[in-house]
Amino acid sequence: MQKVIYKLVKGLKLQYKAIPIGNEASRSLYVSSYLVAASNLLKNRFTISPEKTISGPNRHGTLDYALVTSTSFNVFGAVEVKATDYLQDIAQNTVQCESILTNRRKPVFKIITDSEKWGFLKCFSDDNGNPIFQLSKQLVLFMEMTIWKIGQGKLLKHLYS
């Protein structure tokens, strides 16, 4: 894990110098670095599918990133990158989770982030097939390089578990 964190931090430092964190597109570039690191930690048991279209009974739309199992090719996770406060779009994210859940019937995980603040939403069905949502406590990463490495490790551990 330390090797992956080292490579992640090294790459993020280069990005930080070249790409200002200002809009959703630039933040998305940072997020993809974290997702690639998490995929490597999990020995590539999932692939990252940018701009994946999903559909369900209540919604049809595009995810910023879908996390897809390498064996069954099912979407088990979704990532939404926001330029500002990610919690403002929590309703949209619950509907996206529900759409994936109806097609999968296993727990679905949603990551909502602006690349610095990360929220994790778990969606699963109760015995009657009704969706249940659990939102984690917000994880905050600060972009100051002195404490970045610690934050990256915490995030990767969260993504890894």
User: What's the CA gap between 60 and 92, in Å, rounded?
Assistant: 11
Question: Mind giving me the DSSP string for 71-99?
Answer: TT--EEEEEEE-SS-GGGGHHHHHHHHHH
- pLDDT for residue 145: 44
User: What's the CA gap between 153 and 62, in Å, rounded?
Assistant: 29
Strand, helix or coil for residue 21? coil
Q: In the chain, how many domains are there?
A: 1
Strands 131-135 and 117-125: antiparallel
- pLDDT for residue 147: 41
- pLDDT for residue 105: 66
Q: What is the pLDDT along the chain (161 residues), one digit of tens a residue?
A: 788 888 888 888 888 889 988 888 998 998 999 899 888 888 888 899 999 888 766 667 788 999 998 888 888 888 888 877 666 667 677 777 777 777 666 888 888 888 888 888 888 888 888 888 888 887 777 555 444 444 555 666 666 55
Neighbours of 135 (CB within 10 A): 15
* CATH number of 121's domain: 3.90.1570
User: What's the CA gap between 53 and 114, in Å, rounded?
Assistant: 21
